[in-house]
Every structure is written in structure tokens, then in C-alpha cells.
Amino acid sequence: MAPVKEASGMTLAQLYDLSGKVAVVTGGAKGIGQGIARRLAEAGASVLVVDIDAEGAQATAAGIADGGGTASSAVADLSTADGASAAVSTAVERYGRIDILVNNAGIYPMTPCLDLSEEVWDRTLDLNLKGLFFASQAAARAMSSAGHGGSIVNIASVDAFKPIGNLVHYDASKGGVVMLTKSLAKELGPIGIRVNAIAPGAIATAGTEASIPPDLPADALAMMEQLNNAMPLRRGGEPDDIARVTVFLASPAAEYMTGSTVVVDGGMLQI
């Protein structure tokens, strides 16, 4: 069993200090993943930015390095067990260990359920759920073999609790992420590995805009606009809203949290 380091007695700065830690961020080329990678590096972690988009991953890593952080990139198909495991192996080879895994990679092609194809269903579940598990398994094995604990943060979605429509495949995958988080937390807690999730609401990214098909039914578009206007905090989310919570969950400040899903949605679920 990995020893658990008590956070009591630490200063606030020490609680959020990730110096000496190695983090892997999947889907880190842009959007939420990019924001998370930047904040983890700012907190002192060495970050491996993993994405199928080689150019985007390299750009994110280069931006972190230009800002004084430590980062590199790797290309992996995170929809396969081999690709997900390879991402973790690359971090261990380059930095000697892994302490933090952020499972952020995911897709959300909006499609009405009556038009949903098997290909889109499989592609979504493979990346959003299957790959997330095998990356987590590989990270947990590496942490356990090295004799230390760690933190796994899964990016779920408020759609796991309240579907907005035309995303039945995505909603199923994110509902699975919430339960997978609980299951992994129960099994991995005794060896010092914490597993938590974040459920973002509507976060403004280039990927979000690209996922909306131009022929989406008018009623769906109207519903999305209505949701934005009714947000209690009167604004949409930004990637950094999720990144800051990720740093918290990965840090000693959250050492007594595992199996939790933190909703970061500006009050979207209150509508």
C-alpha cells in the first residue's frame, strides 16, 4: 500500500504546488485540455500533452515551455487500448514517472438519435469511455509499480445528469465516465490513487462550435440559445474554469476527495 501524505500543516501555496509531479493530459491540443495543461505546468508539474493532432499538441507544449514551464507532446490514438496505454508509457519514459492523469480527450458530434449510425456510436464510446479506462489502468499500474499514489481526473459532462438532446451517444459515454470514476476510486483508493471527475457545462471552445452540424434542427438550436440566456451566472464557461478545478483535484488540497464528480457549469443544471 502506498503511503498517504497528510496535507495538514501545509501552507496554501504548498497545497497547490505540483513541483516534481508528472502529468499527462489527453486531448491537450486545444480547448479544455490545453487550458488544463497550461495550469498544471504553472503549478509546477512537468506535462505531457497527448493528442491525435500532432501539430496542436506540439504548439501547446511549446507555449508552456515558452512561458517557463516543462512540457512535451506525444501523438496517440486514445480510442484504442494500445494508444491509451502508450500515452502513459511515453510519460514514464521521458520523465521517469507519472503522478497525474487527466482524461480529457473526447468527441461530441451532435446527431439526432434516429439518425445515429453505428460508426458514430462506436467512435464516440471508444474515445470517451474505453480509451479513458485503459489510460487510467495504465497510469494506475505505473503508479502502483513505482510504489506511490497519484491522482486521476476524468472530464465528464453535465450531460451525464441532464441531456440536452441530439447527443444520446455522448450522454451515454459521459454517464459511463461518472460511474467508472466511482468504480476506479473504490478499487484504487487503498493503494493511494485518487480518482475524481469534473462535469463541465457549456464551455466555449473551437471544438464545441465545430461539433454543431449546420443542418441541426431549428428547435435544438433554439433550445441551446435559451439555455445560454438562462444561465444563473449569465455567462458561458471558459476552458480555464475547468483547468483551475483540475489543479485543485490533482493537488494535495483535495487529498480527501475520491469518487466525486464536481459540477462546473455556471448553474446550468439549475435551469
Residue written as grid cell 440536452: 164
The C-alpha torsion from 40 through 264 and 179 to 172, rounded to 10°, is: -110
* All cell numbers assigned to 156: 465528464
- In terms of Cβ atoms closer than 10 Å to its own Cβ (0-12, 13-18, 19+), residue 190 is exposed
Catalytic residues: 157, 170, 174
Residue written as grid cell 476527495: 257
Q: Which residues of 60-80 are buried (b: 16+ CB within 10 A; e: fewer)?
A: bbebbeeeebebbbbbbebbe
Distance CA 74, CA 51 (A): 7
- In terms of Cβ atoms closer than 10 Å to its own Cβ (0-12, 13-18, 19+), residue 111 is buried
Q: Name which of 201, 176, 249, 233 is nearest 23 in CA terms.
A: 249
- In terms of Cβ atoms closer than 10 Å to its own Cβ (0-12, 13-18, 19+), residue 19 is exposed
